[in-house]
Each structure stands twice: as structure tokens, then as C-alpha cells.
Structure 1
Amino acid sequence: MNVEDLIADINKYMEQLDFVTARKLIEENLNVLEKHRISLKSNARELLKFLIERNHSGYQPISRQDMATLIAINTYATNFDIRGLKLIIKDRAKLLLRTDILEYLNKDAKAILDGMGVINTELPNK
């Protein structure tokens, strides 16, 4: 896919409010789009800027499998299914150690997992 087609697709997806597809395209072509950012529309440029900042700060995007795990954790927490939660978090300790995961958990999951001692919802002192 050439750069012009890529930029046209990203702009089209942003206009259609399909941010997931636009974000995936931007993440896959980050280096190319940094050089051609002026061709993007303003909302796509803002998304590109956000993704570049997150990339430079060491943020790693969440995989589809990790996202499915987080959705399952949220569902079990909402239904207060502690047994299901324990089964899921048993093999996913590395995922739950990431600090950016808290953004994807609902209030029920944060409260239960914090009570279990799996995550720490307190903000670090700066």
C-alpha cells in the first residue's frame, strides 16, 4: 500500500469514527506517517501525535488476546464470580503487573483485584 492510499484510508476511517481501524493502521505504519503527517486531517494528526508520544514513553500496545482477557476479567468482576476471576488471573500475572492495564478495568474489577492484592490502584508519589 502506498502512502497516499494509506493516508486516504486513515482519513476516511477517522471521518467514519472508526477509530479502532484508524489506530491499527497508524500503529502499523508509524514511521512512515511521522514523515507525512501534514497530509493527515487534524483529527488523524492528533491520534498520530498521541500514539507517537505513547510509543516514545515505552508504552506497548495491548494485543487482542490481552484485551480478551481484560474483557473476561471485567465480566467476571461485574458478575462477582470470584472463582472465574481466580482462574483467569492465575496465569496472567505478567499482564496484571503492567501499569497501563488499570485504564481497561472497570470499577468492579479494580476493587476486587485490589482487595485480592493482585493490582495496586494507589497512585505513586511523584
Structure 2
Amino acid sequence: MFLEDLTAKINNYMEDLEYATARIFIEENIQLLSENKNMLNNNARELLKFLLEMQKEGSKPLTRKDMAIINSINSFANKFDLRGLKLMVKENASLLIRKEIPLYLSADAKILLDGMGPIHKEG
């Protein structure tokens, strides 16, 4: 019964566009879900596949604190608050080094941070 409830919750979160919550459930039960991925809907399977690939590469999942920092950076960039953005970059330089971080940044944040130097556009 646990597996059915878990997959139903994850599928519902994915349908409701609550990806962060779905990701937490998937990360906590990644082994069980990888063995029973046929019970997940298409979007949840893609998220599981992505998380398994990250795990193979040795990447650690982002914590809530990391996500809060990224959201703050996006907010400062959206408001064009360079002072706040510089402070966030200075205090969290080690987070911005990670190669997957640009995937979570808004377009404004990518442009500003690329100009400031902490990240570089690929391609």
C-alpha cells in the first residue's frame, strides 16, 4: 500500500506543478521508485530519470537552503537590485560554482551574473 500511495502523491504533485515537493519524495525513495517507475506518470518518470543521471554523475541534490538562495538571487535580478545580488554572490560563491545552478536561474539572473563573472553562458 505504501508504494501506491507514494506514486499517487508524486503523480498528483507533478500534475499540480509542484515539482520541488515531487522531487523531495522521489529523492527520498529513489531506489524503490526506480524499480517501480512504471507506476509514475510521464513527467514523474522524466524527473526520476534526471535525478538518477545526476546521482550517477555524483552531483548532490540541492537543499532547501540552496533553493532559497537561488530564489533570492532570481528575485534580486528581477528587481535589478545589484547591491543585493552582489551580496548574495559574495556569500554563496561555492553554490554558484556548481554546474547545474544555471538551470535554476532566471533569464535576468543569468544575464547579470554572466556580466558580473560568477557564471558563464554555455555555448
- TM-score of the superposition, structure 1-length normalised? 0.78
Larger Rg: 1
Unaligned segments of structure 2, at least 5 residues: none
Unaligned segments of structure 1, at least 5 residues: none
Cα RMSD, aligned residues only? 2.3
2:86 is matched with 86
Where in structure 1 do 4 or more consecutive aligned residues deviate above 4 Å? none
Distance in 2 separating the partners of 1:84 and 1:8:
40
Q: Report matched runs for 1:14-53 at 5 Å.
A: 14-53=14-53
Change (3 A) 1:3 1:73: same
2:96 is matched with 96
Distance in 2 separating the partners of 1:109 and 1:115:
10
- TM-score of the superposition, structure 2-length normalised? 0.80
Q: Report matched runs for 1:48-59 at 5 Å.
A: 48-59=48-59
